[in-house]
């Protein structure tokens, strides 16, 4: 079933991931036709060929081409079985749900391509045409996801089931757990004085005067903008719609006419001048010049001295880290205990390779319960001081039922869900119309999809 899950996950992005470009080029050479039917849902030969070409373009082929195509086909049979079940259960998704998901993916595709124009160039289609083709694909994915979630939504595991699952793992197959760290951080943002703010505004006033007199906005952005992501492109931010930028930035940008330049706009990133490039439906493209306020050396040093005193309080047991982070940290995440959150796992535990190298260099020298000396950081041009707290550090070890219970519990839950899905597939295969054409009746499937 592992290959089915992999294929199912990749199916919906097949035409839009970078590797799919090669498949698009070759698609015209594929002789299309129906090769399978599940319920009333068909599988086309081109569905299989496109996935095969995409996998091949990424160098991920293992085994022979016919064998891989059979695996792809079986994944699609499972996907269509889920789609059929969503239709039987009258599962629906709203147009607004589909549009929200499509917008999210379009932002990703544009970011991967670099610019909207490059995305259009890759596919030889407009953004509107790409969205129109993507809409049905996304809707089908959302329906099948809901169908699969419905099958396993009430699944849970008891402690006895977790123990039984763990005991059945062969000793040489028990997973190795790498060292894991829990790291806290207290942030002190230096005060920014009015003179520093005025200095940034004066720079932008000067730039706007130069633009009014004929200087090129793009050239000024390349030379002076402090946004590293867009300055090299002349400040060009690419296409975006409402909800993707800072609210103050969007409010000013969407009011502009083509070639018009905004007044100075303040956001938490700094101060901006914005110029409208074009409006395309609900999307706009603008360029901007960002000037960030600079912290004075005096205020920067005050932040360092302040955190020195906080670190001393913790290390001398005058206060605890938990109390200090609430009282003294400027980090918005302090209300969750001031622990850094791993974006991969969603919890507070990091493996060494998941920690920024500069942070790891600091916390690797600490013992559990210790805090570091203040460290200056520069995030997107904004300076602050931080002290790091090592809450816990585990040693590499084979998974242990007591120490790693939550991890083993999740493994047991996933195994139980997979068993239920396997059973569901077997039952539904017997009560659903399934037809496989001669092209793929030679396949050695994991399951008995061919009924006669």
Q: Give the pLDDT confidence score for residue 355 in this predicted structure.
A: 93
Q: Give the pLDDT confidence score for residue 59 in this predicted structure.
A: 66
Q: What is the pLDDT of residues 322-368, one digit of tens each?
A: 999 999 999 877 877 889 988 887 888 999 999 999 999 999 999 99
Domain parsing of the chain, residue ranges: 2-156+414-440, 177-191+296-398, 194-291
Residue 404: name the closest of 168, 163, 184, 164 by CA: 163
Q: Region 295-299: what's the mean pLDDT?
A: 89
Q: Is it true that 2-156+414-440 and 177-191+296-398 share their CATH fold?
A: no
Options 3.10.50.40, 3.40.50.1980, 3.30.1510.10, 3.20.20.10; which CATH number does 194-291 get?
Answer: 3.10.50.40
Residue 420 has pLDDT above 50, yes or no: yes
Residues shown for the chain: 452
| Most confidently predicted of 10-24, 353-367, 437-451 | 353-367
**Alpha carbons 12 and 34: distance in angstroms, whole number:** 19
| Largest separation between any pair of C-alpha atoms in the chain | 83
Q: Give the pLDDT confidence score for residue 19 in this predicted structure.
A: 39
Q: What is the pLDDT of residues 36-50, one digit of tens each?
A: 999 989 999 988 888
Q: What is the pLDDT of residues 46-84, one digit of tens each?
A: 888 888 887 777 665 666 788 899 999 999 999 999 999
Are 427 and 202 in contact, with CB atoms under 8 Å apart? no
Are 84 and 432 in contact, with CB atoms under 8 Å apart? yes
pTM of the model: 0.61
Residue 9 has pLDDT above 60, yes or no: no
Superfamily (CATH H level) for 2-156+414-440: Porin chaperone SurA, peptide-binding domain (1.10.4030.10)
Q: Region 248-260: what's the mean pLDDT?
A: 94
177-191+296-398 fold = Chitinase A; domain 3 (3.10.50)
Q: Where are the beta strands (DSSP E) in 370-443?
A: 375-379, 382-393, 397-398, 434-436
**Residue 435 CB-half CA count within 13 A:** 10
């Amino acid at each position: 079933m592992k290959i089915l899950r992999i294929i199912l996950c990749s199916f919906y992005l097949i035409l839009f991931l970078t590797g799919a470009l090669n498949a698009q080029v070759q698609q015209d050479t594929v002789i299309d036709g129906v090769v399978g039917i599940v319920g009333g849902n068909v599988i086309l030969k081109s569905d299989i060929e496109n996935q095969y070409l995409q996998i091949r373009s990424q160098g991920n082929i293992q085994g022979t081409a016919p064998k891989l195509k059979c695996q792809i086909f079986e994944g699609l049979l499972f996907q269509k079985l889920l789609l059929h079940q969503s239709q039987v259960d009258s599962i629906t998704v709203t147009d607004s749900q589909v549009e929200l998901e499509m917008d999210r993916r379009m932002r990703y595709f544009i970011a991967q391509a670099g610019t909207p124009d490059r995305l259009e160039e890759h596919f030889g289609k407009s953004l509107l045409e790409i969205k129109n083709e993507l809409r049905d694909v996304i809707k089908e994915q959302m329906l099948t996801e809901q169908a699969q979630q419905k099958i396993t939504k009430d699944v849970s595991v008891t402690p006895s089931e977790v123990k039984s699952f763990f005991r059945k793992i062969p000793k040489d197959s028990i997973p190795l757990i790498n060292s894991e760290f829990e790291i806290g951080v207290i942030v002190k943002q230096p005060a920014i004085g009015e003179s520093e703010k005025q200095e940034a505004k004066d720079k932008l006033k000067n730039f706007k005067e130069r633009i009014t007199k004929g200087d090129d906005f793009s050239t000024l952005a390349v030379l002076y903008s402090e946004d590293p992501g867009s300055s090299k492109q002349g400040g060009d931010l690419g296409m975006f719609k409402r909800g993707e930028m800072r609210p103050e930035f969007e409010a000013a940008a969407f009011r502009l006419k083509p070639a018009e330049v905004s007044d100075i706009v303040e956001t938490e990133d700094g101060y901006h001048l914005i110029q409208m490039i074009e409006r395309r439906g609900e999307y706009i493209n603008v360029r901007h010049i960002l000037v960030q306020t600079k912290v004075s050396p005096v205020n920067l040093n005050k932040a360092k001295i302040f955190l020195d005193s906080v670190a001393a309080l913790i290390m001398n047991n005058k206060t605890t880290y938990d109390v200090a982070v609430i009282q003294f940290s400027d980090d918005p995440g302090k209300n969750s205990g001031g622990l850094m959150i791993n974006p991969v796992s969603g919890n507070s535990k990091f493996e060494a390779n998941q920690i920024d190298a500069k942070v790891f260099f600091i916390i690797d020298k600490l013992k559990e319960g210790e805090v570091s000396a203040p460290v200056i950081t520069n995030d997107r041009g904004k300076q602050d001081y931080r002290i790091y707290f090592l809450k816990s550090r585990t040693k590499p070890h084979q998974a242990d039922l007591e120490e790693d219970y939550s991890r083993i519990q999740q493994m047991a839950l996933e195994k139980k869900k997979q068993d239920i899905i396997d059973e569901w597939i077997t039952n539904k295969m017997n009560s659903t119309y399934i037809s496989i054409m001669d092209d793929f009746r030679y396949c050695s499937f994991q399951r008995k999809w061919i009924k006669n």
